[in-house]
Structure 1
Amino acid sequence: MVLHYSVLASGSTGNALYLETEGQRLLIDCGLSGKKMVELLGQIGRKPEDISAILVTHEHSDHIRGLGVFARRFQTPVYANEKTWQAMSPVVGEIPTDQKFVFQANTQRSFGGLDIESFSVSHDAADPMFFVIHEQERKLTLLTDLGYVSGQIKGMIRDSDAYIIEANHDTEMLMMGRYPWSVKRRILGDTGHISNEESGLALAEVLGNRTKKIFLAHLSKDNNMKELARLSVGQRLEGSGLKIGRDIGLFDTDPEHATQLTAI
């Protein structure tokens, strides 16, 4: 089997990741309207009724906006930890009991040929968690929405074949921007979001010989730019001896358009 994936959307306005192996088609998060989710799946030639399950990282609206509508319309099973279920239930509305499943943080579940490992992160949500996806010897890390990358997380995600990792903001743009200080302090804090610089520093510590692709995700629409994120992270990686484009690929994600379906 081969693991294929596409970042359907990523950014302040909505997030969703598509995963596919033979017999399994999963979403991680469903943070855009139900209609937009159908459109994004169509961009990669996939149908919403074929989704086997949706896994939820946390209850913030840019990760669950279309969840209730999508799950009800297509009878899709949904997996989240108990605290996230409690926090998001008033927002997503009623989901049939036989579609609701618990996937606790810091545990592992199998979905066909995929073994998915959840881990806790520091973010201002009820019980936020992200995932390392294992398919035989291959490994894909999804890591956004966290205030810092702990040593424990670095150990878990080390030497992944590919990373989808947060590069939320340029610190100078954030500090000079229009946000009130309370919001800036939240973003910069230990339960906020990591910057371009912090993303590059973390990646430089965890990349291994098999790492081939990095997708920069969850960019702020007000406090970042794709070119700036690529430049900042790329400089950090090249400072550690890697050549972007030769040793490793560095790619954008987008809030409106899916990345092409990619194999690990």
Structure 2
Amino acid sequence: MEFGIHIADFTWNTGAAQLGSALAAHVRNAEAAGIRRITVMDHFWQLPGIGPVEHEMLEAYATLGFIAAHTETALLHTLVTGVIYRHPALLAKQVSTLNVLSGGRVGLGVGAAWNEQECRGLGFEFPPVAARFEQLEETLQICRQMWSDSDGPYDGALWQLERTLNSPQNVSRPYLLIGGGGEKKTLRLVAQYADACNLGVRDELPTHKLDVLRAHCEAVGRDYDTIEKTAMIGIDPSSSPDAIAATVRGLEGIGFTATYVFSVGIDEPARVVDLIAEVAGRV
């Protein structure tokens, strides 16, 4: 099992004024501990359930650029980008720019978006769910085309691009992950377009979701085993290494190969890294 650290909470005991130096130390510490992936949310306000909306939240792609400059080996991406926040050509260019500057370590995690409160607050359009999934599919198509050898036009229902030129091209084809477990649309898009899925895990293992994904793969002629299955689990100050390790062993047993860990209510980043490293030693 490969471990990733998902940085969902930036409200640390160092305070906002020292957030840059604290984040740099955190990601260097994570790499030194053997953590192979580092991700951030693509939100502008903190999420309910993690903290008050007024708590610190950094813009995702500027943050990934900062993290790339302070790391050497980790795979970096959002978990996950809300498709409604950026024009798809801009998103493809942002990812490929970071991919080049990081030596091929930056990929794309993407989903249909859900945070209506945040959108209304900041003035982002928040289309109905069917429209957001239409945007997601065309975004996937545009990104894949811009990351290919083709610079031809793209003619979609929503977006028309006369020339999908993208120079410099990626150092390595960006890792493409779709987040969410929606059975009718999200997992179908995973089967059709993605390198990986990401499923949240709480009380039960998502065995049924994998069965649904397998069925979508069969429907579109995709080899199910070519899709990486990744999970996201949360920890808090009461989390025990034994309990987390048991969950991770269960995930590994049904085919998951990577677990992203986020923390709630832990204001010392080093504690998160230490706990992940301890769990990794027990799996």
Same-fold status (TM-score > 0.5): no
- TM-score grouping bracket, smaller chain normalisation: 0.3 to 0.5
Higher helix fraction (1 or 2): 2
Higher strand fraction (1 or 2): 1
The structure having more radius of gyration, on CA atoms, is: 2
